[in-house]
Chain A
């Protein structure tokens, strides 16, 4: 039975590791379905991680941290929106600028304020999101074989941001498919002129999408600093914003497949961690670096193998200009 427990632990860890990807992927999906390419997910998560750690440390409240994280991320989103929508600038350039700004600014401010090499002070108690135990977790574990164990180990016992992240997938799928806002948003990413001639504001819709993107990146960044870790570390997003973009492409810009892709990437990460220092039969002990590279290698293989069929929103990355 020990291997079942091992699997449960790996799955639990996979979920924890996939949350930042999931938030960023949903953020990217909103933005790109509306026609605004956003490679600044990474930078927004990073600034949110920093802002949330600072606010949580100052106030002692994790929720205040979340608020600050979202605020910081939305502000950067608006900068991107201003450049990409209002001024019809190049969206890649604007995204790169945001990534560089966030990477530099967080370290500089962190050093200036706390003098700990860019880190923020360790968060304790209410300044971090505690783990929530879902109802009947202990009872299920005791009385229901296998499933009970998985319920307690994998599904229960995460911080609030984890559940919020999963809720965001459900909400994204629902809003896109079943609401007026969702219909208009899908339309504006495909053919903004059709939206314009239907008497709807293209600019308004795209700003709406960009703000939602900021909120979700804020959630992802806050999770990193205030839930998964106990404070901000320089460059702690470590490319997750880019892997999330890959997950969005991999999922063909649809929410549920994006969830699957993020969980898969999280699982690869979890397996990599688990394999460190373990001697594999026939191979022996694999160097830590090779194991750590595994998720990235798999990402490349998966994308190279499956990307052929992907069809992005047609107007993605194209600023809207009324034709003469």
Chain B
């Protein structure tokens, strides 16, 4: 048996009172692709940062290719043949590709020779792995996929034998992700060891040889990919059986509450983002919008939520036609239309505020939180404490800065804020984007419960599986139009895919 590429034993790391890694051990065979899965905050990234010398472990031993190593800084890790592609790229956007690649490995005090050598090496890597890139392009001008390519080239240029990728597909389109996986297989064929951190189980099943599961800072399972299954992995990640399918009872659809007729939106260049779009939401149903990102779903949500003016069309809420004055977010909220925005960090939250403050954003005028000019910090905090308990926000600390919460917990803060206001209509955008499995399940169950209580819900999500699992009716969107409607119970993925691509079956 060949020596292990990486052998970690007894790694522990604390940040203040929080244990990010507890006595973690991990063995990775040379020349394999090894997956590490776990929910957000399970300690995957911390463990890899320790391996890369970004943090120093409080205890434990690191062996690289059979040899015990002290890795105190990224320089030590690079010397040990470890390269890392961080989730947030470590690139200097104002510099060119070649400058980014040689940064820290320039060779000599003058750049000239180093740049020449890097160009030659880039040409070779382009030939070996198909990693073609213009060395003189400015990194900030490149697409996200190409920026990731620069990161990978950086590691290979430094002669990395072990490549760690932290959530590499989070920013990629599906074809880009497929390209990346092909590259990882090619690297493996060259004898390199790849460590893939992710929380997407499909990727693990597709590309890895072995997989390790982390939960709450501990390593809970080491499995051979061929001998495991997504449900088993999911269970190991969250520590109990997960409902990958959402269980719900048949709908009891009520009266129409939100009706939109003939909505049209044009951008500054005159491009039609929404065209003659009509839909009706009934009380007690979830209507899902299926579509490839960028086909007008975001604009639809924004128009309905009062964030974007439509150039044409009528919206009726509870039978009443909304005039321009009614179509402001504050007024709509008063009328019972709440909105969980697609981008929680930009639109849903002020991440620099405390969690308690975010939990009342938009409702800060409510007399429950203060009187006249003054706000009551104690009442705001008490309110946050109750809702955080009810929604299982972790940690349940109202004073903590919102940016410090994981994606799933941030989403729960937004969800709690809007749901607790008893909406009649709820607009939900990407409810589970960047959210870990445990929280996804929680959010789904809340939305179903809300539907059962008679709320009309419009769901926009790029995850077709989610749309199919939650909705009662599915509307497919393409190019700013609704291209078809299906009952969720009878919809199938292929049929919806055609509608999303704008292929009209009747015409065909």
Contact = CB atoms under 8 A, between A and B. Distances in A.
B91 interface: yes
A181 B91 contact: no
A198 B94 contact: no
Nearest to B55: A322
A193 interface: yes
A187 B96 CA distance: 11
Interface in A172-221: 178-184, 186-187, 190-191, 193-200
B145 interface: no
Contacts of A198: 74, 78, 90, 103-105, 154
Contacts of B110: 178-180
Contact of B95 (A179, A181, A190): A190
B75 A199 contact: yes
B111 A197 contact: no
B73 interface: yes
A178 to B, nearest CB: 6
B74 A190 contact: no
Nearest to A186: B95
Interface string B76-90: 111000001010101
A324 B41 CA distance: 11
Contacts of A180: 106, 108-111, 114
Contacts of B100: 194
A194 B92 contact: yes
A191 B104 contact: no
Given A178-B112, A183-B111, A190 B102 contact: no
B58 interface: no
Given A187-B92, A191-B91, A197 B84 contact: yes
Contacts of A181: 109
Nearest to A188: B92
A190 B103 contact: no
A182 to B, nearest CB: 8
Nearest to B94: A190
Contacts of A179: 109-111
Nearest to A194: B90
B52 interface: yes
B54 interface: yes
Nearest to B404: A324
A180 B73 CA distance: 20
A279 B52 CA distance: 72
Contacts of B106: 180, 183
Interface string A130-155: 00000000000000000000000000
Interface size classification for chain A: 20 to 34
Nearest to B91: A194
Contacts of A182: 111
Interface in B318-357: none
A200 B105 CA distance: 10
Contact of A197 (B74, B94, B95, B102): B74
A200 B104 contact: yes
A194 B110 CA distance: 20
Most chain B Cβ neighbours within 10 Å, of A187, A190, A193, A194? A194
A259 B78 CA distance: 40
A186 B112 contact: no
Given A179-B111, A180-B110, A324-B15, A199 B94 contact: no
A184 B103 CA distance: 7
A178 B108 CA distance: 11
A187 B104 CA distance: 10
A134 B38 CA distance: 72
B466 interface: no
Nearest to B106: A180
Contact of B92 (A190, A199, A324): A190
Contacts of B15: 324
B92 A191 contact: yes
B103 A194 contact: yes
Contacts of B154: 198
A199 B46 CA distance: 18
Interface in A265-318: 314
A190 B103 CA distance: 13
A181 B114 CA distance: 13
B365 interface: no
B93 A199 contact: no
Contacts of A195: 103-104
A186 B95 CA distance: 8
Nearest to A184: B103
A322 B50 CA distance: 13
Contacts of A187: 92, 95, 99, 103
A182 B110 CA distance: 9
A197 B92 contact: no
Nearest to A315: B92
A195 B75 CA distance: 11
Contacts of B73: 199
Contacts of B54: 196-197, 322
Contacts of B104: 184, 195, 198-200
A200 B93 CA distance: 18
Interface string B52-79: 1011000000000000000001111110
A200 B102 CA distance: 12
- Pairs of residues from A and B, 9 with the lowest C-beta to C-beta distance, nearest first: A198-B104, A199-B75, A194-B90, A180-B106, A199-B74, A197-B90, A187-B92, A190-B92, A191-B92
27 contacts: A180-B106, A180-B108, A180-B109, A180-B114, A182-B111, A183-B95, A183-B99, A183-B103, A186-B92, A186-B94, A190-B95, A191-B90, A191-B91, A191-B93, A197-B90, A198-B104, A198-B105, A198-B154, A199-B74, A199-B77, A199-B78, A200-B75, A314-B93, A314-B94, A322-B55, A324-B15, A324-B46
Given A179-B111, A186-B95, A199-B104, 6 more contacts: A180-B110, A180-B114, A183-B95, A190-B93, A197-B74, A198-B103
